Amino acid sequence: MKKMGLLLVSALITISSTAFAGEFGNRCTTGLTKGVVVNSDCSVQETYNGNTFCFGNEEAKTAFLESKDKQKFISKAASFYPKVLNGTAK
């Protein structure tokens, strides 16, 4: 029984330390809309239409939440993201 408890604790630690994967490789969605790459640990996040978007801070998240057209906001970030992936982003 003790061994089973240790296995359970070990599994829970492994699960909790697994990196969270948000959209845009955990980069700040608001930053991407401005053409800026801001890496994030996704501790500040928002789920929208079943996707998790990461933000560099609460202010960046608020900008997303207050945007009138969230889909356009996301599209703007998505249009810049390929530059991040191919190394041409500033």
Radius of gyration of the chain (CA): 17
**pTM of this prediction?**
0.77
Show me where the domains of the chain are located.
21-86
Report whether pLDDT(16) > 70. no
Q: What is the pLDDT of residue 89?
A: 86
Looking at beta carbons, which pairs linking 57-64 to residues 24 or more positions away fall under 8 Å? 60/28, 60/29, 60/30, 60/31, 61/30, 63/30, 64/29, 64/30
